[in-house]
Amino acid sequence: MASGEEDGAVDEKENNNKKKTKSAIVTAWLTFYNIAMTAGWLVLAMAMARFYIQKGTHKGLYRSIARTIKFFQTFALVEVGHCAIGIVRTSVIVTGVQVCSRIFLVWFITNSIRQIQNEESVILFLVVWTLTEITRYSYYTFKLLHHLPYFVKWARYNLFIILYPLGVIGELLTIYAALPVVRRTGMFSMRLPNKYNVSFDYYYCLIIVMLSYIPLFPQLYFHMLRQRRRVLHGEVIVEKDD
C-alpha cells in the first residue's frame, strides 16, 4: 500500500517536471517568435520611412519592401499553428481569417498586379499593418517576459479601434483598384472550353472577397473589443468554442 502511494507520488512528480519542461520550451519559442516578428516589422517601418525621406514619394515604395512584407506576413501562418496546437489562447478561425486574408492581399493582389502597386491605398494598409504588428508583437514579448509597460498594453487594446477600419479601407480600395486590371487581362482565370472543363473568373472571385468583408470584419472587430474589455477593464468574457 505504502509502496503504491510512493509510486503515485513519483509519477506525479515526473508528470509535473515534464509539464514544466514543455511550458519552458513553449515560452522560449513564443518569446523568440515574437521578438523576431517585432524586429521584422520594425525593419519594414524603417525601410518605408527611409524610402519616403530619400525619394519624397510613395511611388516605388511597395517594390522596395516587397520581399520583406511577403516574408513576414507569410511567416504569420505559424500563428494559426500556435492556436491549432493550443499553445496560445486564441481562436484558430479568428486568427486564420486575419492571417489568410492578409496573405491573399499580399501575394494574389498587390504582388501579382504591378499596375496597382503605387496606389495610395497600398501605402495606407502597409503603414497600418506595420503600426499594428509592432505594437502587437511587442505586447506579447513584454507579457511573456513579465515586464509589460502600461503604454504598450494601452496601445495594443486601443489603437486597433482606429487602425482596423483604416486597414480595411486600404485593403478594399486596393482590391477595387485591381478589378479593372483583372478584367482586362483575365489573370488567374480559366475560360471554357478547356481540357479540365472548369471555369473560374478571378474578377468575380475578388468581388466575393470584397463582399465577405461585410460579415467577417465586424466579427474580428467585436472580438478585439471583447479582448479590450477583458484585458483593460478586467471583464470576464465567455467566448464560444470554435
Catalytic-role residue among 79, 119, 133, 171: 171
- Measure the CA–CA gap between 21 and 218, rounded to whole angstroms: 39
Residue 51 lies near ligand L7CU2Q4V (rule: CB under 6 A): no
- Measure the CA–CA gap between 156 and 19, rounded to whole angstroms: 30
Q: Determine whether 75 is exposed, middle or buried from the number of CB atoms within 10 Å of its CB (0-12, 13-18, 19+).
A: middle
154-to-43, 73, 97, 191, 192 alpha-carbon distances in Å: 23, 24, 24, 51, 54
Among 14, 212, 222, 242, binds ligand L7CU2Q4V (CB under 6 A): 212
Residue 34 lies near ligand L7CU2Q4V (rule: CB under 6 A): yes
Report in angstroms how near the CB of residue 142 gets to ligand L7CU2Q4V at its nearest: 10
Residue 110 lies near ligand L7CU2Q4V (rule: CB under 6 A): no
Q: How many beta carbons lie within 10 A of that of residue 96, not counting itself?
A: 16
Residue 209 lies near ligand L7CU2Q4V (rule: CB under 6 A): yes
Q: What character string, x for contact with ligand L7CU2Q4V (CB under 6 A) and - otherwise, covers 66-95? A: -------------x--------xxx---xx
Residue 164 lies near ligand L7CU2Q4V (rule: CB under 6 A): yes
Residue 47 lies near ligand L7CU2Q4V (rule: CB under 6 A): no
Name residues whose C-beta falls within 8 Å of residue 200's C-beta, 6 or more positions apart in sequence.
188, 189, 190
At which residue does the C-alpha cell 516605388 appear?
60
- Measure the CA–CA gap between 114 and 84, rounded to whole angstroms: 35
Interacting residues toward ligand L7CU2Q4V by CB under 6 A: 30, 34, 79, 88-90, 94-95, 97-98, 100-102, 104, 128-129, 132, 136, 140, 143-144, 160, 163-164, 167-168, 171, 209, 212-213, 216-217, 220, 223-224, 227
